Structure 1
Amino acid sequence: MLARVRSVALIGVDAVPVEVEVDVSPGLPAFTVVGLPDQAVSEARERVRAAVRNAGLPFPAARITVNLAPADLRKEGPLYDLPIALGVLAAQELIPADALASLVVAGELALDGSLRPIAGAVNVALLAAELQLSAMLPAASTPEAALIDGVTVFGARTLSEAAAHLNGSAPLTPAEPTTPGADHDILPDLADLKGQVGARRALEVAVAGGHNLLLVGSPGSGKTMLARRAPGLLPPLTRAEALEVTRIHSAAGLLTRRGTLTLTPPYRSPHHTVSDAGLIGGGSVPRPGEVSLAHRGVLFMDEFPEFSRKALETLREPLEEGQVAISRARASVQYPARFQLIAAMNPCPCGHQGDPERACTCTPAERARYAARLSGPLLDRIDLRVTVPRLTVDELTRAPEPESSAPVRERVAAARSRMLARQGSRNADLAGQALRRHAALTAGADGFARAAAGHLGLTGRGYDRLLRVARTVADLAGSDEIREAHVAEAVTFRPALSG
C-alpha cells in the first residue's frame, strides 16, 4: 500500500515542500530511500526501523520504498525520520491517510522512539501557514514554531504519541506561543564606562542611524566595553523583524531562547580566526554565517585587522546590499544580512601609538603595513571612525558619573521614530533620490559639506555616508533641517584616513 506524508526541505532560510511517499509491497524484506538523499537521510532507515519496533509498533517484513519528491532537490538532515516512520505506519493502515493529509511533518527519531528537536522549526511553521496546513514536530521544537501566527502546531515527545494523535486515541494539545519580550534590563549598561565622552557620542549616533562604526584605541581604552553596550541602546525589534531574525537562527539550528520570541536585536562577536564561510556563510551545504546571524542587530569584530584579508573583503557586499548571495554547485541561496558593523582595532601592531604613558615600539613601515590590512573600499563603507584614548587611573577616578543606557536609549528611540515617520527606514538605509530628498542641507551646511568632502578626499559613496550621519545628528537634535553644526559633527566622525 502507498502512503503520502508532507514534509519540507530547507534551502537557505526558506522551507520548500517535499512529499514523502512510502510504498510497502510484498517481497523480500528491504528498505530503500530514493530522491537524492544525503547520508543522514539514508541512515534514517536504521533509525526508523529501530524506533518503530522499540515503540511497540509493528514493522513490516516486506519491501519498503521511500521516495522523497521532487527527486532533483537535495534532501539533507534527519528531519525526515518522523514522516518516513508515519508513512510506514500509514501504509500498514495503522494511521488513517486523511489524518496525514492536513499536516506538515518533520522530526528526528532516537532509537527508543523518542523525538529530538530539529533545526528550522520556525521555517517549517511558516510553510505550513502558507499552505494552510497544521504542523507536527518534536515537542522540544514546538515553542519556536508556535511563534508563527495562523498555524496550529502539535508537539509529540515520542513516535507513539504522534501515532496515537493521528489515529484519534490520544489527541495532542496545540502548542501555545509565549509572550515576546525585550532584555534591556539584563544587558550591559553604559554606566559601567567612565569617561570617553567622544566615543560614547559616536556610539549614540551610530546606533540611532544604524551606521557602521570603527573604534581605534590602545588596549584597555574601553573599545570592547563600549561595543558590548550597543545592543542595550537599540530599539526593540518589531514582531515582523523578530520573526525575520528567528527564522534565520532557526535555520542555523540556534533555537530561540526558552522558545520565546525575543525582541532584543542580535549581537554577534566572532573571533578573528573565523573562516570565510563562518563569517559570510556557505560551506558544502550552505548555512548562514555571522553576518546573517547578526541581521537586524550588531556584528562586533574585535581586532579588526587580524581577520583574514579575504574575510574582510567579503564584508563589502553585505555592508552595501544588506544580503549575501552564496552559489554552490548544488544550490544557490540568499541570506539577509542587514546588520550594523562595529569594529575595534589598535592604532598600531604594539597598540601604544598615541598612548600617554607607554611609547610605541613600531617602525613607520610596520604601522603602514598594519593600516594597509584594511582596504580603502572597506573603510569607505564605515560611516564613523573614532579614536578611543586610554585614560589614566587619575583621569578615571576624577571622571564624573557616566550617563546610563536608559536616557541614551530614549534619545535613540526618539530619533528612530523621526526617521520612520519621515522616510520609513533608518538613515543608514537611505540611498539615491530618497537620500537627496530627506538629507537636504541648508545653504551654509551645503557649502561646508562640499568643502569638507574636498579636504578629506571623500568618494561619492563617502559623501553620501557623510550626509546620512549628518541627518542622524540632526534627528538626535530634533531638527528637521540639516544645519552646518550637524555637518561639522558628522565630519569629525569621518577623518581623512577613512575617506
Structure 2
Amino acid sequence: MFSSVTSAALCGIDACIVNVETDVGCGLPTFDMSGYLGSEVKEAKERVRIAIKNSDIELAPQRIVINISPADIRKEGTGFDLPIAVGILVSNGIIKESAIQDTLIIGELSLDGTVNPVNGVLPIVCAAKEAGIKLCIIPKANLTEGSIAQGIQLYGAESLKEVISILSGDSQYGVSANNSSDYNSENIDSICESGEDYLDIKGQYIAKRATLIAAAGMHNIMYIGPPGSGKTMLAKRIPTILPDMTYEEMLKVTKIYSVAGKLDAKKGLITKRPFRSPHHTITSAAMLGGGRIPRPGEITLAGSGVLFLDEMTEFKPDLMESLRQPLEDKKITLVRLNAAFTYPAEFMLAAAINPCKCGYYPDRNRCHCSEYDIRRYIGRISNPMWDRFDMCVKVDEVTYSDIAGEYNVSEQYNERDNYNIDSECNETSEYINADIYKEQDEYSIYTSAYMKSQVEKARSIQQKRFANSKTDYNSRMTMREIKKYCSLDKEAAEVMEAMYKKLSMSARGYGKVLKTARTIADLSGSENIQKEHITEALFYYRK
C-alpha cells in the first residue's frame, strides 16, 4: 500500500516542503530508501524499525520502499525518522490515511520510540504555514520554539505512541497555545532589560559619543587604545543603545539560531539583539559559516546585532580579509559540490586593537616598540579592511579623577575640540562644536537610556528617509542615495575636498565620511549636512 507524509528539509535558514513516500508490499523483507539522502537519513531505517517494535507494534515481514521527494533537494539530519515511521504505519493500515492530510510531521526517534528534538523547527513550521498546511506534529521539546509562528496548530509529541494517538483523534494531547503574542511592543523593554549601562564606564566621553553615532547609523567602528582603557566595555554595551527589535527581526534571528542549533528550547523567541565576540583563534568555517552541511557562522549569528572582534590584529590575516565581501554585500554565499547556501550577514562590526604590541604607544615611558614594530603591528590590518570601518576612535587611559568621580565633561572634549582640520590644509581654523554636550549634565548624557533615545530619534529620521528604498540605515546608502541625501554646501565641500587630498582617501572612504556626517546631522536634528558635521566625521576617519 502506498502513502505520502508531508515533512520538510532545511535549505539554508529556510525550509522546503518534501513528501515522504512509502510503499509496503509483499516480497523479501527489505528496507530501501532513496531521494538524495544524507548518511543520517539513510541510518533512519534501523532506528525506525526498532522504534516501531519497541512501541508494541508488530509488523509482518515485508518489503518497504521509502522515497523522499523532490529528489533534487539534499536531505540531511535526523528529523525524517518520525515521518518515515508514520508512513509505514499508514501503509500498514494502523493509522488512517485521512489523518495525515494537511499535516506536517518532523522528529527524531530513539530506539525505544521516544521523539527527540531536532534543529530548525521554527523555519519548518513557518514554511508549513506558508504552504497552507493546517497542523504540525513536532517533538514536545521543540514546542516552545514552534509556537513562535502564529496561525498554525501544533502538537508536541514525546513518543511514537503519542503520535499514533494524536492522529487517531485522542483529545488528551491538546493543541499548543501560540505564545508569540506575549512578545508585543509594550513589554519588549522589560524582556530586553540588561544590567549593563554606559554610566558604568568612567570618562571616555569622546568614545561614548563616537559609539552613539555608530549605533545611530549602524556604522562599523574601531576602538584604539591601551589595555584597560575600556574598549571592550564600550563595545559590549552597544546592544543596550540599539533600538528594540521588531517582531520580524526577532523571527529572523530566531530562525538563524534554530537552524544553527543554538536556540534555547525553554526561552523560544529571541528578543535581544545578538552580541557575538569570537576568540581570535576562530576558524574561517566558524566565522563565515561552513562544514560539510553548511551552517551559519558568527557573521550570520550576529545578524541585527553586533559582531565584536577584540584584539583584531591577533586574528589571522586571511580571516580578516574574508570579512570584506560580507561587510559590503550583507550576505555570504557558501558553495558546495551539490548546492549553494546564502546566509544573511546584516551586522554592525565593532573592533578593538592596541596601538602597538605592548599596548602603550605613544607613551614612551612604557612603550619601547620601534617605529617599524608599530607599523608592522598596525599593518596586520590591510588598508582595504580599514576602509570597511566608518569610524575610528582613540580610547585614552582613564584618569584618576574619572575613576574617583570628579567628572569634567569640558576637559574630556579638549582633544576633539582642538582637532584643527584647517591646520592640515592651511585654511581658517574651525573646531568641532561640542557645546550642546557641555551644557548637559554628564550623568544624563551617557546613560544607556539617554543614548538609546537619541539613537531611536535618528533611526526614525532614517526610516522616513528610506521609506521607499531597500536601504535601512545611513551606513548602507548607495552612491546614488549618498548623492541625494549627503549634498554639501560650499564650506563643507571645501573642507571635504582638502581632506580627501590630504588623507589620500579612497572612493569608499569618501563615502564613509559622508554617511557618518549624515548620521551626525540626524542626531543634531539638522536637515542638511553642515561644516561642523563634516568636521566631526573627519575626526573619526582613520588618519
Please state if 1:61 is matched with 2:54: no
Q: Which residue of 1 aligns with 2:34?
A: 34
Partners of 2:178 and 2:315 lie apart in 1 by 40
Partners of 1:60 and 1:169 lie apart in 2 by 26
- Please say if residues 94 and 167 of structure 1, whose CA atoms lie closer than 8 Å, have aligned partners that are also in contact: no
Unaligned runs of 5+ residues in structure 1 are: none
Deviation at 1:70, TM superposition (A): 2.0
- Please say if residues 49 and 59 of structure 1, whose CA atoms lie closer than 8 Å, have aligned partners that are also in contact: no
Q: Which residue of 2 aligns with 1:103?
A: 103
Partners of 2:296 and 2:498 lie apart in 1 by 42
Partners of 2:265 and 2:21 lie apart in 1 by 35
Q: Which residue of 1 aligns with 2:430?
A: none
Please state if 1:8 is matched with 2:15: no
Partners of 1:433 and 1:13 lie apart in 2 by 31
Q: Which residue of 1 aligns with 2:450?
A: 407
Please state if 1:363 is matched with 2:366: no
Partners of 2:116 and 2:352 lie apart in 1 by 40
- Please say if residues 353 and 360 of structure 1, whose CA atoms lie closer than 8 Å, have aligned partners that are also in contact: yes
TM-score, reference length from structure 2: 0.88
Superposed CA offset, 1:360-383 (max 9, x none): 132222222211111111110100
Deviation at 1:422, TM superposition (A): 1.7
State the AA in 1 paired with 2:456: A
Please state if 1:426 is matched with 2:473: yes
3-state DSSP class of the match of 2:261?
coil
Partners of 1:33 and 1:374 lie apart in 2 by 51
Q: Which residue of 1 aligns with 2:415?
A: none
TM-score, reference length from structure 1: 0.95
Q: Which residue of 1 aligns with 2:381?
A: 374
Deviation at 1:171, TM superposition (A): 5.9
Moved more, 74-83 or 450-459: 450-459
- Please say if residues 355 and 389 of structure 1, whose CA atoms lie closer than 8 Å, have aligned partners that are also in contact: no
- Please say if residues 33 and 66 of structure 1, whose CA atoms lie closer than 8 Å, have aligned partners that are also in contact: yes
Distance verdict in 2 for CA 1:184–1:455, change over 3 Å? farther
Partners of 2:58 and 2:519 lie apart in 1 by 67
Please state if 1:445 is matched with 2:453: no
Deviation at 1:397, TM superposition (A): 1.5
3-state DSSP class of the match of 1:78?
coil
- Please say if residues 6 and 103 of structure 2, whose CA atoms lie closer than 8 Å, have aligned partners that are also in contact: yes
Please state if 1:456 is matched with 2:499: no
Aligned runs of 1:25-174 on 2, under 5 Å?
25-133=25-133, 134-170=135-171, 172-174=173-175
- Please say if residues 89 and 95 of structure 1, whose CA atoms lie closer than 8 Å, have aligned partners that are also in contact: yes
Distance verdict in 2 for CA 1:128–1:393, change over 3 Å? same
Please state if 1:301 is matched with 2:309: yes
Superposed CA offset, 1:124-155 (max 9, x none): 01210111002221111122222223322222
- Please say if residues 187 and 232 of structure 1, whose CA atoms lie closer than 8 Å, have aligned partners that are also in contact: no
Distance verdict in 2 for CA 1:395–1:168, change over 3 Å? closer
Moved more, 453-462 or 221-230: 453-462
Please state if 1:472 is matched with 2:534: no
Partners of 2:485 and 2:195 lie apart in 1 by 33
Partners of 1:5 and 1:257 lie apart in 2 by 26
Deviation at 1:175, TM superposition (A): 2.2
Deviation at 1:190, TM superposition (A): 0.9
Distance verdict in 2 for CA 1:171–1:95, change over 3 Å? farther
Of residues 259, 267, 277, the one that matches 1:269 is 277
State the AA in 1 paired with 2:218: G
Distance verdict in 2 for CA 1:370–1:94, change over 3 Å? same
Deviation at 1:99, TM superposition (A): 1.7
Deviation at 1:87, TM superposition (A): 0.8
State the AA in 2 paired with 1:481: N
Q: Which residue of 1 aligns with 2:398?
A: 391
Deviation at 1:257, TM superposition (A): 6.3
- Please say if residues 195 and 399 of structure 1, whose CA atoms lie closer than 8 Å, have aligned partners that are also in contact: no
- Please say if residues 115 and 157 of structure 2, whose CA atoms lie closer than 8 Å, have aligned partners that are also in contact: yes
Partners of 2:538 and 2:72 lie apart in 1 by 55
3-state DSSP class of the match of 2:10?
strand
3-state DSSP class of the match of 1:389?
coil
Q: Which residue of 2 aligns with 1:195?
A: 203
Superposed CA offset, 1:66-119 (max 9, x none): 111122322111010110111111111111112212112111112222212111
Deviation at 1:394, TM superposition (A): 4.8
Deviation at 1:187, TM superposition (A): 4.4
Partners of 2:353 and 2:60 lie apart in 1 by 64
Unaligned runs of 5+ residues in structure 2 are: 408-441
- Please say if residues 187 and 229 of structure 1, whose CA atoms lie closer than 8 Å, have aligned partners that are also in contact: no
Distance verdict in 2 for CA 1:92–1:71, change over 3 Å? same
Q: Which residue of 2 aligns with 1:230?
A: 238
**What count of residue pairs does the alignment treat as equivalent?**
495
- Please say if residues 115 and 139 of structure 2, whose CA atoms lie closer than 8 Å, have aligned partners that are also in contact: yes
Deviation at 1:169, TM superposition (A): 2.9
Q: Which residue of 1 aligns with 2:459?
A: 416
3-state DSSP class of the match of 2:150?
coil
RMSD: 1.7
Of residues 331, 335, 338, the one that matches 1:330 is 338
Q: Which residue of 2 aligns with 1:493?
A: 540
Partners of 1:60 and 1:235 lie apart in 2 by 61
- Please say if residues 192 and 271 of structure 2, whose CA atoms lie closer than 8 Å, have aligned partners that are also in contact: no
Deviation at 1:398, TM superposition (A): 4.2
Distance verdict in 2 for CA 1:205–1:17, change over 3 Å? same
3-state DSSP class of the match of 2:239?
coil
Deviation at 1:2, TM superposition (A): 1.5
- Please say if residues 132 and 151 of structure 1, whose CA atoms lie closer than 8 Å, have aligned partners that are also in contact: no
- Please say if residues 144 and 265 of structure 2, whose CA atoms lie closer than 8 Å, have aligned partners that are also in contact: no
Q: Which residue of 1 aligns with 2:483?
A: 436
Partners of 1:338 and 1:428 lie apart in 2 by 12
- Please say if residues 202 and 398 of structure 2, whose CA atoms lie closer than 8 Å, have aligned partners that are also in contact: no
3-state DSSP class of the match of 1:342?
strand
Superposed CA offset, 1:249-304 (max 9, x none): 11111225634323321111111111001101122211111001111110011111
State the AA in 2 paired with 1:488: T
- Please say if residues 251 and 270 of structure 2, whose CA atoms lie closer than 8 Å, have aligned partners that are also in contact: no
Superposed CA offset, 1:377-433 (max 9, x none): 111010001111122445421443753211111111111111111223211111122
